[in-house]
Structure 1
Amino acid sequence: MGKPFVYVTRKVPEHCLEELREFAEIEMWQEEEIPVKREVLLEKAAKAEGIITMLSDKVDRELMDAAPNLKVIANLAVGFDNIDVKTATEKGIVVSNTPDVLTDTTADLTFGLLMATARRLPEAVNYVKAGEWKNWGPLLMAGKDIHHKTIGIVGMGRIGATVAKRATGFDMNILYHNRSRKPEAEADLGARYVSFDELIEESDYVVCLAPMTEDTKDLFNYDVFKQMKTSAIFVNASRGGVVLEDDLQRALDEKEIAAAGLDVFRQEPIDADHPLLAYDNVVALPHIGSASVETREEMTRMVGRHVANVFVGRKPEYVVNESVFN
């Protein structure tokens, strides 16, 4: 009897799947930046017992109906809103994700995005490259201080708490809003739990790290931006769907907020003519929150372990739908 077949929907570091190769035959989509074509994914899923997926892959009932042998879907991400978890659970398919391993890396990027936006770093780089730097002036490319300012974190999960930890190094006043209070963040980091409205009104930096849910969809609309300080900077490193982008544009046009740093968008990837790219006070990144070599390699090893564990009858370390083991 041959090894079970596993399909990997994006090119990942192959050497990180060596452990899985002991248990499975692996085939991989060979494009790094282009998602697997839907028809290819459906074809491969039809014979797969395991699939390693990305956030860009729609893993819905159609796909699972086409995959009668599927035992495990290992998502190379913390989020899993690309997967119909309810259907997977009905069919007894294990769904896993990769939290913790990318926490520090994503927090680094989030705080870096905040700093780049506040201190106008991309704008300054372009200023020099364009040959516009002719002299020095006291307010040349003057940005905003970060130290001793107030950061408001919406979504105090693992990544939110780790961003807050970095904020302590800048002597920032830390506010947070979450579905539930986090006593450990309050005790260890001096963070203060406040209502959403209070956070929005008091923060110099509003950082969204909330998961994409029905409650957070379109959370940041024009009325919310209007509540912010006119000097406030908005940073989103969670999901694009939490922001109404037309409303963000309006808030920028009307100077209701000072700037925005965005690692995510409603529809990804965005084109070069996306309206928000026309703003000098918007720093836009291509969804690279956890994109360090070390973290991507460890995430790949982790999803490989998840699939291997299911094949040998063990529970993976991170399972989204725990009820499949009951």
Structure 2
Amino acid sequence: MAKPVLLITRRLTDAVHARAMRDYDAILNLDDTVFTRDALIARCQTVDAVLPCHSEHFSADVIAALPDRLKVIANHSVGVDHVDLAAAGARGIVVTNTPDVLSDATAEIAILCMLGAARRGAEGDRMVRDGKWNFWSPAFMVGRQVTGKRFGVLGMGRVGQVTAERARGFGMTVHYHNRSRLAPHLEKGAVFHDTVEGLMAVSDVLSLHCPSTPDTLDVINARTLALLPEGAVLVNTARGNLVDEDALIEALSHGKLFAAGLDVFKTEPGGNPRIAALPNVFMLPHIGSATQETRDAMGHRALDNLDAVFAGRTPGDLLV
């Protein structure tokens, strides 16, 4: 019996490639080329499944151009804002993602961004690298201490819960807003706020962990930023389009925010040069899940979902 033909759109780990080539007629992208829209459509014409990353956009028009033989889009990501789920569902294409396995890695990056922003990590690193560290005094490079402060979580899903647990290690009091309140054993004493506005007012550090949806687009904007305590720190390791970047620049430039720690931006790759020009921003290039262990786990989770589909079972991470 012929193996299903699988397109893997980006270079994954060696272990994931080896398993894919063993179990599928796998088409790899060892050069890690970013496909254009037309190239993506063309490469999907002769495959039964595709394993993409968030860099490949399966909009409604792309999905309409897919062949009938393509049965499943098994995403190598948790977020699926790059896939039009309604369009896929209408075509009968199964869509899956890879939750759970990247929670620890992303939570680590959130804490790194919090500390880097609060303790002026970008400024200090640049100063030493540029050979400009020629002065010290008690007033030198004074930042914000996070120990004992209030840690606000917007979106208390898997990553939000793990990040909250890490913040508790600093003696921080956890506050959160979610679409629904968590059960007590998941809440672990965190204070629930039934509105975004209520969470803003008590967040000395605000960490974003909600998905990108029409409802969360620019949820951090001039109005909501104004509700934060003076000198708060904003952390975003979720999606760049959660934040109105013009409003963020204004808040950082005029002292409403002490600093921001950002792993994601509206424009990726590349980021926002106006944000990059600000001294009080600690930035990373969307590497929240970029550990060897997590990349292996994400790839294997995506393959688990594919295995289930082609064995006639419901995949564990079914979205549509």
**8 Å contact from structure 2 (residues 118, 258) kept in 1:** no
Matched residue SS, 1:219: coil
TM-score, normalised to structure 2's length? 0.94
Q: Give 1:184 deviation, angstroms.
A: 3.2
Displacement over 6 Å in runs of 4+: none
Report deviation, 1:268.
0.9
Structure 1 stretch displaced more, 231-240 or 195-204? 195-204
Return the alpha-carbon distance in structure 2 between the equivalents of residues 66 and 269 of structure 1: 26
The AA in structure 2 aligned to 1:48 is: V
Check conservation: 1:29, 1:36, Cα contact below 8 A: no
Deviation at 1:185, TM superposition (A): 5.7
Matched residue, 2:302 = 303
* 1:167-182 paired onto structure 2 within 5 Å: 167-182=167-182
Alpha-carbon distance in structure 1 between the residues aligned to 2:127 and 2:223? 33
> Structure 2: 5+ residue runs without aligned partners?
none
Query: CA contact under 8 A between 1:232 and 1:258: conserved in structure 2?
Result: yes
CA drift of 1:182 comes to 0.9
Distance (Å, rounded) in 1 between the aligned partners of 2:25 and 2:186: 48
Alignment correspondent of 2:166: 166
- Counterpart of 2:4? 4
Equivalent position amino acid for 2:97 in 1 = N
- Per the TM alignment, residue 293 of structure 1 is displaced from its structure 2 partner at its CA by 1.1
Of 127-136 and 199-208, deviating more is 127-136
Counterpart in the other structure of 1:138:
138
Counterpart CA distance in 1 for 2:118 and 2:210 is: 21
TM superposition shift of 1:57: 0.7
Could you tell me which amino acid in structure 2 is paired with residue 174 of structure 1? Answer: V
The aligned counterpart of 1:95 is: 95
Compute the TM-score of the two structures, normalised by the length of structure 1: 0.93
Whole-angstrom CA distance in 2 between matches of 1:278 and 1:230: 22
Equivalent pair of 2:156/2:209 in contact (CA under 8 Å): yes
Question: 1:324 maps to what in 2?
Answer: none
Residue 54 (structure 1) shift:
0.7
Which amino acid is 1:277 matched to? Answer: A
CA root-mean-square deviation: 1.6
Give, in whole Å, the separation in 1 of the partners of 2:187 and 2:313: 36
In 2 relative to 1, CA 145–306 (structure 1 residues): closer, same or farther, beyond 3 Å? same
Partner of 1:294 in structure 2? 293
Secondary structure of the residue aligned to 2:257 is: coil
Equivalent residue number for residue 221 of structure 1: 221
Distance 1:222 1:134, change over 3 A: same
SS state at 2:201 partner:
helix
CA distance in 1, matches of 2:22, 2:134: 61
| Kept after mapping to 2: 8 A contact 1:262/1:284 | yes
Deviation at 1:44, TM superposition (A): 1.4
- In structure 2, what is the Cα distance between the partners aligned to 1:93 and 1:196? 35
- TM-superposed deviation, 1:38: 2.3
Stretch moving more, 69-78 or 311-320: 311-320
Which residue of the partner structure matches residue 66 of structure 2? Answer: 66
Between the aligned partners of 2:176 and 2:15, the Cα distance in structure 1 is 40
Q: Distance in 1 between matches of 2:186 and 2:309?
A: 38
Deviation at 1:254, TM superposition (A): 2.1
1:118-172 CA distance string (max 9 Å, x none): 1111211111111122233112212110100011111000111111101111111
Amino acid of the residue matched to residue 285 of structure 1?
A: L
Are residue 284 (structure 1) and residue 279 (structure 2) matched? no
CA distance in 2, matches of 1:317, 1:184: 26
Contact 1:240 1:265 in 2 (8 A): yes
Task: After TM superposition, give the deviation of residue 197 of structure 1 in Å.
Answer: 1.6
Aligned pairs for 1:23-34 (under 5 A) are 23-32=23-32, 34=33
- The code of the aligned residue for 1:178 comes to N
Could you say if the C-alpha distance between residues 187 and 51 of structure 1 is closer, same or farther in structure 2, counting changes exceeding 3 Å?
Answer: closer
Matches within 5 A, 1:24-63: 24-32=24-32, 34-63=33-62
User: In the aligned structure 2, how far is the partner of 1:185 from the partner of 1:115?
Assistant: 28
Partner of 1:258: helix, strand, or coil?
A: strand
CA separation in 2, counterparts of 1:47 and 1:61? 19
User: Per-residue deviation at 1:241?
Assistant: 0.9
Local SS of the residue matching 2:234: strand
Task: State the SS of the aligned residue for 1:266.
Answer: coil
Determine the C-alpha separation between the residues in 2 that align with 1:25 and 1:186.
42
Distance (Å, rounded) in 2 between the aligned partners of 1:31 and 1:80? 24
1:290 Cα shift?
0.7
Residues 187-222 of structure 1 deviation map (CA, whole Å, 9 limit, x = unaligned): 52x200023222211211011111111111111111
